[in-house]
């Protein structure tokens, strides 16, 4: 009987992977970001993670010792991260890799259940291609450092975004970008395969849907579709949601490079609970619907998997623990939280997947599932720091063509001593010129969007018209 099993395993890689998958829990974890100036302490955050969200895994974006101490002697598995800025140095310096592990892992392991060590975050999405080519060497050095210090239960990986793909539709056409396929992805997949680690993937159906809401059905993106399906013409696989489509595109891309069985870990997924006026579908209703449904899928027993890998466990972390008020970029970036900074629910959610849908309260009706049509201005946010505002005003006025002409002395928008009005004009003028090129109404948190015209008298503020 033993020989029969060995013979079967030798000729059945799918069975072998199924057995490996069975060892991985389907429990959903949470990403614990710290980009906020109003967040609870690590000790309170760990209590919220365990008792309020009922999560058994957490991913942090560094190796914050206060958080790792707060996680000691809990049953929460932990993922820590080497910061992006250390990758180039670690890639060529084993001593530095050893030092990082000695400082950031060894003092806490195994009392804190560190199980995953991620090298950088979405490195292949950055413009710095030097770091691209140092990523896998750094991963190897970190793995060697863990072995040298007898830290044997920690998997090494790196989270990648969907933009690592050159093609993703249909899923069977999934392929990695040519600028990273041979020089980065092949050696990375070889490393992940050899060390039995995971392909850590960030999957956000919100972004493809919000960029093309006319052609992608919202219910299909939210796991709510009753009659919309997509059939891959090459494989015949039928998709009932956008999430599965995205994951399978990566699975097919790995297969094309000769690695059909590397396990996928959903490093981030989620939906924004609010955003700017020009950001469609970012609301509590959609966020709750998406996250409840994705948790139901990912925590199901037996595992559901995807059409390309039915029955495979997809371990995961939902993004994010809190709304983080210091994240940069569009408003959605600051509104992915399951909890407000005071620890209360943005909407009821249970990461264990055990709370029946009927026990959740009613959700607010979504008001922005259609694109906003009209004018939007960019003005100074309430409570903006005055000294920082002066610097931002100066920056905005040096960009573009005639951005601040109307607020110069003798012009219609000049108001002596009125920094807020002057800066609001400059922000609106800057954003009106540069939004299509990627400019945002943020200015390090000093600006916010408004649909109330801030113009006064003969001073007319430029606006973005949607």
Q: Is 122 a catalytic residue?
A: yes
**CB within 8 Å of 118: residues ≥ 6 apart:** 59, 79, 80, 81, 82, 156, 157, 158, 159, 200, 267
Check: CB of residue 155 under 8 Å from CB of residue 115. yes
Q: Is 23 a catalytic residue?
A: no
Distances (CA, A) of 262 to 20, 69, 402: 11, 32, 54
Check: CB of residue 299 under 8 Å from CB of residue 27. yes
Catalytic pick among 23, 85, 224, 268: 268
**Encoding tokens for residue 387?**
């000294």
Dihedral sign computed on CA atoms, order 12, 16, 22, 27 = negative
- HEC string of 284-333 equals HHHHHHHHHHHHHHHCCCCCCEECCEECCCCCEEEECCECCCCCCCCHHH
Residue 357, classified by CB atoms within 10 Å of its CB into exposed (0-12), middle (13-18) or buried (19+), is: exposed
Check: CB of residue 128 under 8 Å from CB of residue 165. no
Within 370-416, strands assigned E span 375-380
**CB within 8 Å of 415: residues ≥ 6 apart:** 407, 421, 422
Catalytic pick among 122, 224, 324, 370: 122
Catalytic residues: 122, 268
């Amino acid at each position: 009987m033993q020989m029969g099993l060995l013979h079967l395993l030798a000729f059945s890689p799918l069975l072998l992977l199924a057995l490996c998958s069975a060892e991985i829990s389907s429990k959903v974890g949470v990403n614990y970001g710290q980009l906020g100036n109003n967040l609870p302490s690590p000790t309170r955050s760990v209590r919220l993670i365990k008792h309020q969200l009922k999560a058994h895994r957490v991913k942090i974006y560094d190796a914050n010792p206060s958080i790792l101490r707060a996680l000691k002697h809990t049953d929460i598995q932990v993922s820590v991260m080497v910061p992006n800025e250390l990758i180039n140095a670690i890639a060529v310096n084993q001593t530095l890799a050893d030092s990082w592990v000695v400082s950031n892992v060894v003092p806490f392991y195994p009392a804190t259940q560190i199980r995953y060590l991620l090298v950088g975050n979405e490195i292949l999405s950055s413009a710095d291609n030097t770091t691209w080519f140092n990523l896998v060497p750094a991963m190897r050095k970190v793995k060697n450092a863990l072995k040298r210090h007898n830290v044997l239960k920690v998997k090494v990986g790196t989270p990648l975004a969907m933009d690592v793909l050159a093609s993703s539709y249909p899923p069977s056409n999934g392929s990695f970008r040519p600028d990273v396929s041979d020089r980065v992805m092949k050696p990375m997949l070889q490393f992940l395969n050899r060390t039995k680690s995971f392909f850590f993937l960030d999957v956000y159906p919100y972004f493809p849907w919000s960029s093309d809401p006319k052609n992608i059905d919202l219910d299909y993106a939210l796991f709510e579709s009753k009659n919309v399906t997509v059939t891959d013409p090459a494989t015949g696989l039928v998709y009932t949601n956008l999430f599965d489509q995205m994951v399978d595109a990566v699975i097919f891309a790995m297969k094309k490079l000769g690695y059909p069985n590397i396990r996928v870990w959903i490093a981030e997924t989620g939906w924004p609970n609010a955003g700017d006026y020009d950001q469609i579908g970012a609301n509590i209703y959609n966020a709750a619907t998406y996250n409840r449904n994705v948790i139901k899928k990912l925590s199901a027993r037996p595992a559901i998997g995807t059409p390309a890998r039915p029955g495979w466990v997809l371990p995961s972390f939902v993004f994010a623990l809190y709304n983080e008020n210091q994240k940069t970029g569009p408003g959605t970036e600051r509104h992915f939280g399951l909890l407000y900074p005071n620890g209360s629910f943005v909407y009821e959610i249970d990461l264990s997947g055990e709370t029946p849908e009927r026990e959740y309260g009613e959700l607010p009706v979504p008001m922005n599932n259609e694109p906003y049509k009209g004018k939007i201005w960019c003005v100074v946010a309430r409570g903006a720091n005055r000294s920082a505002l002066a610097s931002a005003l100066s920056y905005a006025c040096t960009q573009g063509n005639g951005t601040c002409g109307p607020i110069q002395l003798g012009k219609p928008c000049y108001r002596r001593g009125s920094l807020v009005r002057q800066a609001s004009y400059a922000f609106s003028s800057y954003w009106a010129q540069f939004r299509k090129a990627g400019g945002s109404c943020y200015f390090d948190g000093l600006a916010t969007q408004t649909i109330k015209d801030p113009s006064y008298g003969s001073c007319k503020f430029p606006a973005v018209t949607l």
